[in-house]
């Protein structure tokens, strides 16, 4: 009986120690989330407007020079930029990003994947570890971006993807990431990066007529790369905020589960202790009765 009490006491101490860790991790993630959330909320309207502008220019400039980043061609080689986190303990955050990337490859690019023509550039260590382990063409060049998350570092990845597309190493580039909604909600997205998607033309819509200053060719040459850099940076900021939100939620749930477990263990401990006391009293009473007899 004493051994059973000691075992329950040890389990209670273990759960309490774990709960202290989960509460501390929740507080750290909450602090990081506030900064990450501010960054993506400020960035999102700017990035969205730039993307709309770029898509409109491309849609109304079909077949013109200077549109190499919007060139559509038969899809032979595909690049996925998959954005996960560097660390775990964030619930199903990383698993959902990886699952979406796998599903998209299976549904849209199965033939290319079968030929070994699907490459994956990883931003975040968790995605890299998974795809490398599962024999994908996983590239680690940009996996450590979250160690020093700056626009300049993300821009290097965007520019490398643009260069590879223009040199026809890849015919399409997709971004797989988690769009931040709030601390408890993330929306997992596949977003076309290259070729630049065109705006769907509505029936009877009048073609937009832009006035360009400086020249259209000069403007497009300067504008396109900058907007694409911003698009990838927005996706990385979204994923960063989503990761901290997911981890904060996961640690909060873990702390709640620890409370439930502690409650259950304390009930078990009290029952075992009462049973031990009852046994001891019974033995004392029996011994006294034997002596009197």
pLDDT tens sequence across 137-180:
999 999 999 999 999 999 999 999 999 999 999 999 999 999 99
Residue 96 to residue 177: CA distance in whole angstroms = 9
Q: Pick the closest to residue 4 from 284, 289, 273 (CA basis).
A: 273
Q: What is the mean pLDDT of residues 76-91?
A: 94
Ramachandran class of 50: left when φ > 0, alpha when ψ lies in -120 to 50, beta otherwise: alpha
Q: What is the mean pLDDT of residues 60-77?
A: 76
pLDDT at 65: 46
| Percentage of residues of the chain with pLDDT beyond 70 | 90
**What domains are defined for the chain?**
2-19+254-287 (1.10.287), 28-251 (3.40.1380.10)
236 touches 153 (CB < 8 A):
no
Strand order, beta sheet including 172-182:
137-139, 118-123, 78-83, 172-182, 185-194
DSSP code of residue 148: G
Whole-model pTM: value is 0.84
C-alpha separations of 268 from 13, 265, 281, 282 in Å: 14, 5, 20, 21
Residues in CB range of 55: below 8 A, 6 or more apart: 196, 197, 198, 199
């Amino acid at each position: 009986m004493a051994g059973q009490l000691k075992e329950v006491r040890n389990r209670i101490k273990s759960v309490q120690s774990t709960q202290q860790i989960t509460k501390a991790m929740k507080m750290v993630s909450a602090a990081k989330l506030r900064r990450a959330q501010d960054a993506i909320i400020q960035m999102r309207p700017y990035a969205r407007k730039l993307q709309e502008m770029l898509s409109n220019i491309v849609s109304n400039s079909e077949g013109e020079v200077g549109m190499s980043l919007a060139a559509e061609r038969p899809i032979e080689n595909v690049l996925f930029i998959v954005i996960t986190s560097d660390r775990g303990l964030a619930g199903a955050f990383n698993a959902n990003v990886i699952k979406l990337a796998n599903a998209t490859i299976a549904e849209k690019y199965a033939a290319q994947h079968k030929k070994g023509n699907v490459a994956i550039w990883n931003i975040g260590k968790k995605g890299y570890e998974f795809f490398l382990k599962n024999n994908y063409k996983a590239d680690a060049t940009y996996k450590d971006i979250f160690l020093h998350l700056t626009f300049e570092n993300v821009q290097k990845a965007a520019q490398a993807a643009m260069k590879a597309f223009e040199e026809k190493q890849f015919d399409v580039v997709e971004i797989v990431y988690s769009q931040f909604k709030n601390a408890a909600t993330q929306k997992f997205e596949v977003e076309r990066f290259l070729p630049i998607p065109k705006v769907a033309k509505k029936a009877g819509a009048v073609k937009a007529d832009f006035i360009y200053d400086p020249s259209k060719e000069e403007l497009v040459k300067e504008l396109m790369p900058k907007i694409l850099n911003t698009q990838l940076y927005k996706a990385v900021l979204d994923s960063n905020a989503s990761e901290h939100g997911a981890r904060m939620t996961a640690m909060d749930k873990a702390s709640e589960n620890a409370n439930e477990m502690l409650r259950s263990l304390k009930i078990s401990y009290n029952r075992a202790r009462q049973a031990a006391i009852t046994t001891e009293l019974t033995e004392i009473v029996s011994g006294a009765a034997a002596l009197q007899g």
